[in-house]
Chain A
Amino acid sequence: MQKIMREQLIEKAASLLNNGTVTAVLGWGKGEFDYDVTPAVFKTEEELKAGFVWNDFCGANFSKYLVKKTDRLEGKLLVFLKPCDTYSFNQLLTEHRFDREKVYAIGVPCNGMADIAKIKAVSGEGISAVDTNGEKIAVTTIYDDAPVMIDPADVLAERCINCKSKKHVAYDELLGEEGDVIDSARFDEVARLEAMSADERFAFWQNELSRCIRCNACRDACPACTCEKCVFDNPASGVENKSPANSFEEQLFHVIRAYHVAGRCTDCGECSRVCPQNIPLHLLNRKFIKDINEFYGEYQAGETVGSRAPLVNYTTEDIEPGEVFDRRDK
């Protein structure tokens, strides 16, 4: 259950549309089954009332959409941002990827989003309704008249279990109460992988990545991946490929992508959320974040606008490559 109600968001959006502050609203659009929410642009109060939703399935991070949606837009676009989304928002501003003047950002508190796969693991297939407005999530299926009641904590998305911050780091206006940066356990799983032998770790990743179908959803949803033309889409690059040609190629794509977003990845979790094969991609990026923290001191991408990530900022105190090498077995 979210603290802020859908009606409050609609009221806010409608008033900003009606008084001319914004010309359009980027929000979550109603789907077929309560949980299949699609990012959508709303232009009138009627459209908002008919199709705007805010529930436990509004996981999509809108920050990246701002790049395209504000391009050639007349006036301002209203965007709703959850705490994690605001980090991507700042990071994109740091990289000059959209015009801040064209955006009116409203921070919305978030109690964590639900993972429909986890819900289905409890309720089974055949969902006819999901109600996330109560203390418990009520799931009705066509197979049973009585709804299955689920504790939201049991079906939280991975990234929400490991939420790093309930604090919004960017907004023009905040609805509800501000939260805090949280001490999360998000590096525990990385530490578990680090504790493995190199062979075990290789086997772990090979097994995970062997499921990859190279749909590129991870890259396309990633707010750090905003290149006009990705090397993997460019026939002239020599590495363009539409399928994993072999297991080496499969790993190459992911390793290169992880390196390219290192220091810029805010750990928003979109990659793992969208992967149709449930590959824990966030663990690759989190490994980089953990290393950066350990080598250069705590750094959170997107915490502020304009910050220079340690990897692109030389200082004489920087760790020597040799020291990194020596740590490899620790």
Chain B
Amino acid sequence: MRKCSLNAVNEVFAEIAKAAKLYLPVDQADGSAAFKEWENGVTWSSALNTVKSPKDLFFPQTEDLMAFKTEGKSIEVIDTRREVEDFVVFGVRACDVKSFEILDRVFIKEPVDSYYASKREKGVIVALACTKPSETCFCTAFGICAEEPCGDVSAWKTEDALYFRANTEKGEALMKRLEALTEECGEDAVNAQKEKTAQIMKKLPLAKLDTGAFGGGKTEQLFNAPEWDELSSACLGCGTCTFVCPTCQCYDIKDFNTGNGVIRYRCWDSCMYSEFTKMAHGNNRLTQKERFRQRFMHKLVYYPENNDGLFSCVGCGRCLAKCPISMNIVKVMKKLGGKDSE
């Protein structure tokens, strides 16, 4: 384990930024935080979490895939991909770190999504342990340890110092670059903090949320549950929940007509949208109830069914904080799971 004084973080950031683009949470004018590129003068936010998750850096909300240029009767196909350069994402919470495992299982499986895979290959994740979780946090329900985040490097911030532990080769390479700015140290301060956070996690209002009623094989039991009517009744179908979610992975591929060609790009899509399942024969999800059900069935039943029981929610709480009508996965779990979930 290595550490540096909190007064020296900007030097650490500068050192990282010499060799790779560095992204970290930064406060925005409206008071919320967002992952932004670090440059001299940019201050690291102390916010618990960002509105949009760091997923955006690996699977951007819009991304050009290829382009076509027409001239007379010929069409030129243009490869718009750029060589991805090394980059570092600093300050990723344990829940968001876990979200990459969920996304990897979708994108880095045959056929591999090279757009995503190349960024995962080049990106280094420095995870940051939580010390002051919010009432909306329920990562523990999915076995995530907020005080001991994974990632290429794990980091802990105490009153006066920043502690680092490399977990992977990429992480070790990063720490090697920071050797002159950090010093070898014991683990006492970090252990004390972990213990403190673990105690706080137990006091969170959603600490006892239980996933027992969900998982693979539960489709028949849950799909036709009468509760979906009431749960989905006020849903606006806005898709805020899907766009702030670190694990939502659906996208659409669209052609943008430039006048003398086409830019083919992909953009996040949402199962909450009316056109989401539109196909040549029509649309098989005609009501908001069906769309709403899809989002939660996917996270709590279908995904685990196809991925060794892994749920595709990490309990980050973003959808709890941001849904305009305050409907969310926790309310769904408590309603459908009955007493067992509370």
Contacts and interface: CB of A to CB of B under 8 A. Distances in A.
A38 interface: yes
Range of interface residues on B (Cβ < 8 Å): 35 or more
B167 to A, nearest CB: 27
Interface in B259-275: 265, 267-270, 273-275
Interface string B293-333: 00000000000000000000000000010101111001100
Interface in B49-99: 51-52, 61-62
Interface stretch (B5-13, B127-135, B184-192): B127-135
A235 B134 contact: no
A40 B133 contact: no
A152 B178 CA distance: 48
A318 interface: no
A121 interface: yes
A125 B326 contact: no
B252 to A, nearest CB: 6
Given A243-B61, A277-B51, A32 B324 contact: no
A184 interface: no
Contact of A124 (B34, B62, B132): B132
Nearest to B252: A242
Given A32-B330, A221-B324, A242-B269, A125 B237 contact: no
A57 to B, nearest CB: 9
Range of interface residues on A (Cβ < 8 Å): 35 or more
Contacts of A38: 234, 325-327, 331
Given A38-B331, A39-B325, A235-B278, A215 B240 contact: yes
Chain B interface secondary structure, helix, strand, loop or mixed? loop
Contacts of A121: 31
A41 B231 CA distance: 11
Interface in A208-236: 211, 213-217, 219-221, 229, 233, 235
B133 A39 contact: no
Contact of A211 (B30, B62, B327): B30
Contacts of A143: 132, 200
Contacts of B267: 241-243, 245
A275 to B, nearest CB: 9
Nearest to A116: B321
A211 B28 contact: yes
B31 A32 contact: no
A268 to B, nearest CB: 13
A37 B204 contact: no
A32 B233 contact: no
Interface of A: 31-33, 36-41, 60, 65, 117, 121, 124-128, 141-143, 207, 211, 213-217, 219-221, 229, 233, 235, 240-245, 273-274, 276-279
Given A40-B233, A233-B273, A242-B268, 4 more contacts: A125-B134, A213-B52, A220-B238, A229-B274
Top 9 nearest A-B pairs by Cβ distance? A243-B267, A274-B324, A36-B326, A278-B30, A125-B134, A220-B236, A217-B238, A215-B240, A39-B234
